[in-house]
């Protein structure tokens, strides 16, 4: 057989042109031509992410490569198989940590990390809905949107289509329950999800804990939203001695109760909530450094049937004497105010702790929120 110059002389297979090759699962879309792989395809998004290739200034080459308009990728799995060239500046922008206004309180992340984190949370929402019997998926054709409903509320979680950097929740009461919810409660619940759940470091167990709240009845959920308000809108009560933070994952100091990092909220016959209390200090003396405030993590156990709130007693009092004082405070509060009261005990008990709890000075508590995994 004569040598025809083919690199595969023993076969009859012809090598297809790169510009004519079809991509997998996309018989109608051709792969990029060699020219497009060298600068003829503009990257999507902001102009700073484009890869303009200016013409050479060399006397031997006067050609200029023109970049076409940004492409619009179809909503298909194979759409991303067409590569996009990025300039060094664009690649640096994608990976450089930066702050955005919606997440100003969090550690700066790169745009790529925020984008991947948002998509990770959206995918976990699908898993959570499939695992929780109290949540039901609502079908939608909107890209980047998850819709589901609970007993009295419908939730819509969407990716910000302008920046692809943040997730946002919109809540609507179901028609038959719209009189049970105020607009302020709805807005607080939405804000808490945006700032405390769908945020760096994008913890799946934080979302799981949040979803467990949705199985609680309306009265309990309203009390938890008021606790969220204390965190989102601090310094509302000038008489408060403590500030509070609702923990969504178990801190290392409570590894004897549950593995660190697992969801810190449980709702069954009884309900478990974990709060981080931090003592509010007055202004420091001139020229003196501000002292480190005392912080205390308290695991609350709410008996739904008896409307009674105490501390989780599983080895807790052996860790820190302050928790014994907190437990005694809660018992006095229950005896004095809730022996015959039908009001949910959760928020009034927490508010009483923040206003009236007194602990000895100089006694160390648990680590602050930074210890929360």
Residue-level pLDDT at 50:
47
Cβ atoms of 67 and 52 closer than 8 Å: yes
Q: Which residues contact 40 (CB under 8 A, 6 or more apart)?
A: 33, 65, 67, 68
With both helix axes pointing from N to C terminus, report the angle between 111-131 and 204-213 in degrees, rounded to the nearest 10. Answer: 40
Percent helix, strand, coil in the chain, to 5, is 35, 15, 50
| CA atoms of 264 and 294, how far apart (whole Å) | 22
Q: What is the dihedral of CA 210, 146, 82, 21, to 10 degrees?
A: 130
Q: Which residues contact 345 (CB under 8 A, 6 or more apart)?
A: 302, 307, 308, 309, 334, 338
Beta strands in 143-209 (DSSP E): 145-149, 153-159, 167-173
Distances (CA, A) of 367 to 106, 107, 293, 295, 373: 19, 19, 10, 6, 12
pTM of the model: 0.76
Burial, 153: exposed, middle or buried (Cβ in 10 Å; 0-12, 13-18, 19+)?
buried
Q: Around Cβ 349, how many Cβ atoms within 10 Å?
A: 22
Cβ atoms of 256 and 314 closer than 8 Å: yes
End-to-end Cα separation, the chain, in angstroms: 70
Nearest CA to 250 out of 111, 144, 367 is that of 367
Residue-level pLDDT at 29:
47
Nearest CA to 219 out of 309, 127, 152 is that of 152
Kindly state the tokens that stand for 210.
């949040």
Q: Are strands 145-149 and 308-311 parallel, antiparallel or unpaired?
A: unpaired
Q: Are strands 266-267 and 270-279 parallel, antiparallel or unpaired?
A: antiparallel
Residue-level pLDDT at 103:
82
Nearest CA to 128 out of 265, 271, 272, 300 is that of 265
Residue-level pLDDT at 316:
52
Residue-level pLDDT at 350:
96
Residue-level pLDDT at 67:
52
Q: Which residues contact 84 (CB under 8 A, 6 or more apart)?
A: 41, 42, 43, 44, 51
Kindly state the tokens that stand for 129.
């809905």
Q: Which residues contact 241 (CB under 8 A, 6 or more apart)?
A: 279, 280, 354, 355, 356, 357, 358
Residue-level pLDDT at 81:
78
Cα three-residue angle 72-42-46, rounded to 5 degrees: 75
| SS3 (DSSP) at 65 | coil
Residue-level pLDDT at 36:
44
Q: Where are the domains of the chain?
A: 91-215, 236-283+291-373
| CA atoms of 3 and 55, how far apart (whole Å) | 41
Q: What is 91-109 written as a DSSP string?
A: HHHHHS-B--GGGTTSPPB
Q: What is the pLDDT along the chain (373 residues), one digit of tens a residue?
A: 445 454 444 444 444 444 444 555 554 444 444 444 444 444 444 444 444 444 444 444 444 444 545 667 677 767 777 778 889 999 999 999 998 888 878 889 999 999 999 999 999 999 999 998 899 999 999 988 999 999 999 999 999 989 999 999 999 999 999 999 999 999 999 999 999 999 999 999 999 999 999 999 999 999 999 999 999 998 888 889 999 999 999 999 898 889 999 999 999 999 999 999 999 987 767 777 778 889 999 999 999 998 999 999 875 545 578 899 999 999 999 888 655 567 899 999 999 999 999 988 654 444 444 444 4
Nearest CA to 110 out of 46, 164, 63, 38 is that of 164
């Amino acid at each position: 057989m004569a040598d025809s110059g083919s690199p595969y002389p023993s076969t009859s297979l012809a090598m297809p042109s790169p510009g004519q090759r079809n991509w997998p699962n996309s018989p109608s879309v051709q792969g990029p031509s060699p020219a497009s792989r060298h600068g003829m395809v503009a990257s999507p998004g902001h102009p700073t992410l484009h890869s303009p290739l200016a013409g050479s200034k060399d006397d031997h080459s006067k050609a200029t490569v023109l970049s076409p308009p940004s492409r619009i990728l179809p909503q298909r799995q194979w759409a991303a198989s067409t590569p996009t060239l990025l300039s060094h500046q664009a690649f640096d922008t994608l990976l450089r940590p930066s702050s955005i206004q919606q997440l100003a309180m969090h550690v700066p992340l790169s745009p790529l990390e925020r984008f991947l984190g948002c998509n990770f949370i959206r995918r976990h929402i699908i898993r959570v809905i499939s695992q929780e019997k109290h949540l039901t998926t609502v079908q939608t054709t909107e890209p980047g949107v998850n819709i589901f409903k609970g007993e009295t509320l419908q939730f819509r979680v969407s990716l910000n289509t302008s920046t692809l950097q943040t997730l946002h929740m919109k809540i609507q009461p179901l028609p038959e329950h719209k009189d049970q919810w105020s607009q302020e409660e709805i807005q607080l619940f939405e804000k808490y999800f945006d700032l405390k759940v769908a945020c760096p470091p994008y913890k799946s167990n934080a979302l799981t804990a949040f979803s467990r709240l949705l199985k609680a009845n309306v009265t309990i959920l309203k009390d938890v939203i008021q606790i969220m308000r204390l965190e989102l809108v601090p310094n509302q009560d000038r008489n408060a001695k403590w500030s509070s933070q609702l923990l969504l994952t178990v801190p290392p100091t409570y590894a004897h109760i549950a593995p660190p990092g697992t969801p810190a909220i449980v709702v069954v016959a009884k309900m478990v909530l974990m709060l981080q209390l931090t003592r509010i200090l007055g202004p420091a003396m001139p020229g003196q450094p501000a002292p480190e405030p005392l912080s205390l993590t308290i695991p609350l156990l709410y008996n739904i049937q008896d409307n009674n709130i105490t501390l989780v007693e599983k080895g807790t009092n052996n860790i820190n004497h302050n928790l014994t004082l907190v437990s005694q405070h809660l018992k006095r509060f229950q005896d004095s105010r809730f022996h015959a009261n039908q009001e949910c005990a959760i928020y009034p008990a927490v508010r009483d702790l923040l206003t009236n709890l007194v602990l000895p000075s100089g006694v160390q508590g648990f680590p602050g929120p930074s210890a929360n995994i």
